[in-house]
Structure 1
Amino acid sequence: MRTRRILGVFIVITLILSVGVISPTTVITAGESNEGCVECNEDTTYPIMRPDRETLDRWNEGLYNLRIAPIRENNLSSTKLLTLSGDTYSHSLLSWVPYVPGDRHQGSCGNCWVWASTGCMEITHLKENDVYDRISIQFVNSAYGDGDGEDFACCGGWMGDFASFYSAVGYAVPWDNFNADWHDGNNSCGGVSNVHIDNIVKAPRYNISYIEAFRIATHDEDEVDQATAIAYIKSWLDANYGVYFSFKLPNGTAWTNFQNFWNNEPDTAIWGDFSCGADYDEDTGGGHGMLCVGYNDEEGTANDYWIMLNSWGTPTGRPDGTMRVAMNIDYSCELDGLGGLWDDYSLNWLILEVDFPNHAPKADAGGPYTAGEGTQILFDASGSTDPDGHALEYAWDFDDDGLWDTGWETEPTITHKWCDDYTGTVRLIVKEISTDEQLTDTDSTTVTVTNVAPTVDAGLDQTVNE
């Protein structure tokens, strides 16, 4: 008898990714492009997560023990009012994701769970801290499971594994750090990461004080019907959260159909065939995860769709690396034999709560400065930094009287002159521009204004007659 734990409402569509590649006739690796080759698209395959039964049971147990995402009453009320009134609406967070479409390609590595979860984290970083910055995928690949073997990130995982990893590590690093960009596109389960974790530069970095995955209630066992499931998911997107969508397909035929759809259909086509009710084949079935960034319900029920950002590059017809998934689907879709001791639900929606603690900036007034009296001195605070990447404003006190002699300036440099010789302290204060706390820091430096000998000018020679 299967047991079931009902965990509340979470918008996380958890696609169980299988560890492996379906019929690896052609594997597109990171950095390669399909552009201009429709014929080769037909044979292109991508990694799906294909876990063994033990791993699948562990993932299912973790999924159904997640806390349910709390209902966002304000957003939900607005969504329901739109539905009842017959109004239509669309919402997209795609521009909130700091990505380069051609770079967003997992290649042969089965780590879609890292790409989708990282996208959720990046959106939260922008929403909460006004930081628009790509976060490293390679950092997880190099560190998770020691970067090799059966616990390698390329062997698959889910958002719960992602949250546990970052909860233990306590920080994320930007994509632009040295060796933190994507290097494992030609890797697969059982391999070894191309970058050892010690070779990734960890500064700057973004500290994480709290991270937790939640499941959105979308199943009939959650006592949720289709309309309510849709409203719950929309309410989190409307609150500017990325949503992790996880789905499973039952066999190789279903996966071939999905990959052909991805390779050969335009990004305006809508996918909705999840083979509900089919038997799950543990050898050829598997799962995948994508980042849901929005929705559109402006064209009538049959054409309503979710906007998904994938991590399979940019085949012809998908310049942004996105696809559309039908909105009016069976959210309690089951594949027989999938759940083991747990339910057979094949579609799950998840969200990620992340707290990036804000840190005070570090002021650097430069100097010491020396110049002659009457000379404009260039004061330079460009060495000031903010560990969280926030923009700064600057103000100066040139005579150390405790009063700021300038207003807040967005440029780190400013000029000032003394008309007489002077030796004293100059103070700088920097402030975060875009945060609620607007944390500040101060620094001081010295200035020496030297006396300049006067210049005597008697004018032109004069002739005096006696």
Structure 2
Amino acid sequence: MNRGFGRWYNWILGCMIILLLLVMVMGGASAQEVYAGVGISGVSNNSSSAVQLPVMHQNDSTLKHQIDQYETAPTVSLDTAGVLKARLGLSRSQNLLPYLDYNAIQRDQNPTGNCWVWVGTGLMEITHQVEDAIRDPLSIQYFDSTYHGGAGLTWAGNGGTLADFVNFYQQQKIAVPASNTNASFKDNTYWCNDNNQAWVKASDIATDPHYSIASIQEQKIPTRSIGTEAAIANIKTVLDSNKGVYFAFRLPNEQAWNDFNKFWLEGNQSAVWNPDLYDGNPWESWSGGSHAVLCVGYQDTDPANRYWIMLNSWGNAFGNRPSGLFRVKMDIDYDAMFTSSMSIPATEWETIDMNYSPSPQSTSIEKPYTTHTVPCRVEAEDYDYGGENISYYDTTSGNSGKVYRNDDVDIEQTTQAGGFDVGWVRNGEWLQYTLDVPEAGDYEMRIRSSSPGAGDQIVVSVDGIDAGTLIIPQTDSFDNYTNVSLPVKFSAGRHLVRLTFAGDRQNIDYFEINPAIPAEQGVIDGKISLGSTPSGATVFLDNVLAGMTPLTIPSLRPGSHHLDIAKSGYQTQQLTTVIKSGETQQMNVTLLRSYPAPYVNHTLPALIEAEDYNLGGEGIAYHDTTAWNEGSVYRNDGVDIEQIHPTGGYKVCWIRDGEWLTYTVTIPQAGNYTVIFTGCSITPESSCTLSIDDTTLTTVSLPDTGSSDRFGTVQRMVSLPAGVHLLKLSFIGRQDVDNLQFVAAGLQPQVSSTTVATPAPILETPTVSPSETFIVRPTPSVTFGQFQSLPGQIQAEDFDTGGEMVAYHDTTSENLGESYRDEGVDIIFNPVDGSNSVTDIEPGEWIRYPVNITESGVYNASFRVAANVSGSTVDILIDDSNLSAVQVPDTGSLSSFTWITRQIWLPAGQHMLRLKFSGPLSIDTMKFTP
């Protein structure tokens, strides 16, 4: 053998042996199985593309172990009648969200890979409320910090299963409330992932008080090899029994996860996800992964659109999912598999069987459900906390109406004004309420009740002393209500009022406590004279439609009355007023506008991209005549967006008559502004109307440029008020819109040498640029050296004052880009998108920015960057303390920008934000979002 070849052979053989050993170590089902919580990025070129969402990527042995865990789990015992009911379609919908006390923004595991803990804990919380009438969030942090010592490759943040979750609580035997000291979730930082351990030590978490666990068991729900309808019926039956469902799903490759990422971040809560799109795909071991969510209900009233309701632990998707929900198509292949060295199921459905032990915590302490201060109206369903024989007594188990609360009191929705009542009343049942009485005296108690028969009674007691009995008149129907009154004396202070029912056939809606009217005065009806600004608001009096403002409501019985004043586009006002005998109550209400949440925060003066319209969906943020995005880029709703060719960026297009877009803006200072419309018309006589808070500002016709990718501009002078307002673009005819720019009076928009400057304030005829696109170059929107507010957006070129080694460090003494500022930082103007950027950055250079952070917390720090090599980084520092490093990908050139995001913790107050670079790279913009 050739000696040279022999050396190479031995080297190759040695490498193969090392690789084989690595595979054996990583592939072995040892105590250090790796659950990598790796984020998958979306593929679209916008802010969601760089958001890292935690997905579990398992090696083959770990994946097989998890599948075996599911296959060997005990099977849930299903109620035969319930399954039959579901199969016959008698079970039309279910929603277990009222059993949970949660906040979607706080329900965010990001970036920790502990979705399985969030789902399992949700199952426990639902069980606690259903069985013990205790709605108390349980600690995720306690699990993270205690499971496997809270550190290492198998800590909770590296993944797990429902079987692992159940095994943990079978050993611990206690559940810790999230309100305990150090028990709130704190592992939503990259530090935890980078260091493979929980942020909080288990010993620092208070375990008293706690809830004792008598038993807990994992149970799988049969869904495979039984047919779609049988699988659906089994899952429904579990949900109908008021149990949550653990839904684990797998996707086979990076593209599939990119699609789901985009669906989650850019869709809304009404969008339905179809996991069948990836059935049969080969499993890629390096990018396939799994995620678990909590199934809290279903809807199958529309046979063409049946879906499961899923509660995620990924926050609220920047406001697109305010309740943290998404929908999964119900009619899917429950036998779906992915192909690999083994069969990998696409979905798994499980639940738990659990019982809490009696303890001081599970036997609730009596306390008010809602604060009631006399005079007041008390809804019957707002009885105190405490549970059976403490705050109520009910002869049947479970809430027969399955709405509002989740104990044994039977509550249903009324047929009048969408409220609730207590129904299915049986003889001897009672309800108790805590009332605060500021002033001692004589009061009238008026109960609104119904009964189809005669002879029913309600016995009233105060602090255990009988206060009288009310005879309920026959109303001939449970839905016909009447009022009955009883005089009651109260001393000042807190009192317990109990209603005990005699008779089996009555409903109670609410009762009111009002000062008694002296007998010699008599009872004379009062009036309400109600006006609103703006007028035309709909008024509900005591949940009954009364008319529209301005309005006079006569013949009102003295006492407390409830008003709801509602108008489209404004916040609903809810008022309680006390009507006195023979008097007219004069009321004038100013309604506050209700603004959709912005997709991008716009503070004028500013450049507003047309595609950055508000969140909220069809009829709120926009109106579009088609239900889908015909351009299929940037956002995933009904507005049609496409990329501008050949220069890049986005525009709103395929516009039809009657369509509109809205933008919520902040205007710090009232005054005159020049607004510059950039776009083009497609058909003759098309027009675009700009309005603010439904008041028209101006109507323009965009220029006919001869191409849908060639834009012109139209300018108008408008007067804008200070404050938060709603801008609206309404369209007639076909046209494409690129952006709007608002320039304060006295300032001229800056344009590049290839564009035609437009004189202010008014252009009677539009101009067209000879270039491919006409884009206005924005002017500075900040005063250099002043503190810029976060959350918010910072342009990279708007750095601090002070010069070299104070505000920045640059290796050249002049601005090589010759744009924007006459200092050493290299700034270049990009005529393609009309922006300035800091470029030609070299290793060791840095820039600082004075910032005012309004609230401490975890922020998404997004950077629009470009690089022509790989390996460049941006270090983020606050007051010279390094928070994180951002890796900048090779985008092909220093002018080809992309967004990257990193999560960091920012302290409140005024600080110095500094960016240190290991170039070469360019940076355009920074966005900091909570």
TM over 0.5: yes
Match of 2:306 in 1: 304
The code of the aligned residue for 1:179 comes to: N
Q: Is the 8 A contact 1:219 1:331 kept in 2?
A: yes
Q: Is the 8 A contact 1:18 1:48 kept in 2?
A: no
CA, structure 1 residues 90+411, in 2 after alignment: closer, same or farther (shift >3 Å)?
closer
CA, structure 1 residues 57+147, in 2 after alignment: closer, same or farther (shift >3 Å)?
same
Shift of 1:22: 3.0
The code of the aligned residue for 1:157 comes to: G
Query: Which whole-Å deviations, capped at 9, do the CAs of 1:357-390 have from their partners, x for residues lacking one?
Result: 12368999xxxxxxxxxxxxxxxxxxxxxxx976
Q: Is the 8 A contact 2:112 2:157 kept in 1?
A: yes
Match of 2:36 among 4, 9, 19: 19
Q: Please, what TM-score do these two structures have when normalized by structure 1? A: 0.69
Q: Is the 8 A contact 2:35 2:153 kept in 1?
A: no
Match of 2:344 in 1: 344
Q: Is the 8 A contact 1:152 1:189 kept in 2?
A: no
User: SS of the residue aligned with 2:248?
Assistant: strand
Shift of 1:45: 2.3
Match of 1:448 in 2: none
* Structure 1 residue 294 corresponds to structure 2 residue 267: no
User: SS of the residue aligned with 2:105?
Assistant: helix
Shift of 1:176: 0.7
Query: Which whole-Å deviations, capped at 9, do the CAs of 1:251-273 have from their partners, x for residues lacking one?
Result: 11110110011000111111013
CA, structure 1 residues 409+289, in 2 after alignment: closer, same or farther (shift >3 Å)?
closer
- Identity, in percent, stands at 32
* Structure 1 residue 129 corresponds to structure 2 residue 132: yes
* Structure 1 residue 279 corresponds to structure 2 residue 278: no
Q: Is the 8 A contact 2:270 2:326 kept in 1?
A: yes
Q: Is the 8 A contact 1:22 1:252 kept in 2?
A: no
Match of 2:80 in 1: 73
Match of 2:205 in 1: 200
CA, structure 1 residues 122+281, in 2 after alignment: closer, same or farther (shift >3 Å)?
same
Match of 2:272 in 1: 270
Alignment of 1:404-423 (within 5 A): none
Whole-angstrom distance in 2 between the partners of 1:206 and 1:163: 16
Whole-angstrom distance in 2 between the partners of 1:363 and 1:330: 44
Alignment of 1:169-248 (within 5 A): 169-186=172-189, 187-188=192-193, 191-220=196-225, 224-248=226-250
Match of 2:262 in 1: 260
Query: Which whole-Å deviations, capped at 9, do the CAs of 1:161-191 have from their partners, x for residues lacking one?
Result: 0000000011110011111001001122752
- Unaligned 5+ runs, structure 1: 1-16, 27-37, 365-387, 395-406, 417-466
Bigger share in helix: 1
* Structure 1 residue 145 corresponds to structure 2 residue 148: yes
The code of the aligned residue for 2:200 comes to: V
Whole-angstrom distance in 2 between the partners of 1:259 and 1:240: 30
Query: Which whole-Å deviations, capped at 9, do the CAs of 1:387-409 have from their partners, x for residues lacking one?
Result: x9768849xxxxxxxxxxxx998
Shift of 1:300: 2.1
The code of the aligned residue for 1:45 comes to: Q
Query: Which whole-Å deviations, capped at 9, do the CAs of 1:220-245 have from their partners, x for residues lacking one?
Result: 1xxx1100000000011111100000
CA, structure 1 residues 175+114, in 2 after alignment: closer, same or farther (shift >3 Å)?
same
Alignment of 1:426-437 (within 5 A): none
* Structure 1 residue 331 corresponds to structure 2 residue 334: yes
User: SS of the residue aligned with 2:67?
Assistant: helix
Q: Please, what TM-score do these two structures have when normalized by structure 2? A: 0.35
The code of the aligned residue for 2:137 comes to: R
CA, structure 1 residues 233+408, in 2 after alignment: closer, same or farther (shift >3 Å)?
closer
Whole-angstrom distance in 2 between the partners of 1:108 and 1:239: 33
CA, structure 1 residues 392+360, in 2 after alignment: closer, same or farther (shift >3 Å)?
farther
User: SS of the residue aligned with 2:153?
Assistant: helix
Residue range with higher mean Cα deviation, 272-281 or 316-325: 272-281
Whole-angstrom distance in 1 between the partners of 2:161 and 2:82: 27
Match of 1:114 in 2: 117
User: SS of the residue aligned with 1:213?
Assistant: strand
User: SS of the residue aligned with 1:19?
Assistant: strand
Whole-angstrom distance in 2 between the partners of 1:68 and 1:415: 49
Shift of 1:20: 2.3
Match of 1:402 in 2: none
Query: Which whole-Å deviations, capped at 9, do the CAs of 1:114-141 have from their partners, x for residues lacking one?
Result: 0011111110111111110101111110
CA, structure 1 residues 75+143, in 2 after alignment: closer, same or farther (shift >3 Å)?
same
The code of the aligned residue for 1:118 comes to: T
CA, structure 1 residues 298+57, in 2 after alignment: closer, same or farther (shift >3 Å)?
same
Shift of 1:344: 2.4
Larger Rg: 2
The code of the aligned residue for 2:256 comes to: A
Query: Which whole-Å deviations, capped at 9, do the CAs of 1:101-122 have from their partners, x for residues lacking one?
Result: 1100001100000001111111
Shift of 1:42: 3.1
Match of 2:322 in 1: 319
* Structure 1 residue 160 corresponds to structure 2 residue 163: yes
The code of the aligned residue for 1:267 comes to: Q
Whole-angstrom distance in 1 between the partners of 2:360 and 2:39: 49
Q: Is the 8 A contact 1:18 1:285 kept in 2?
A: no
Query: Which whole-Å deviations, capped at 9, do the CAs of 1:329-363 have from their partners, x for residues lacking one?
Result: 0000100127x3xx422211000111101236899
CA, structure 1 residues 216+153, in 2 after alignment: closer, same or farther (shift >3 Å)?
same
User: SS of the residue aligned with 2:88?
Assistant: helix
Alignment of 1:347-426 (within 5 A): 347-359=347-359, 393=390
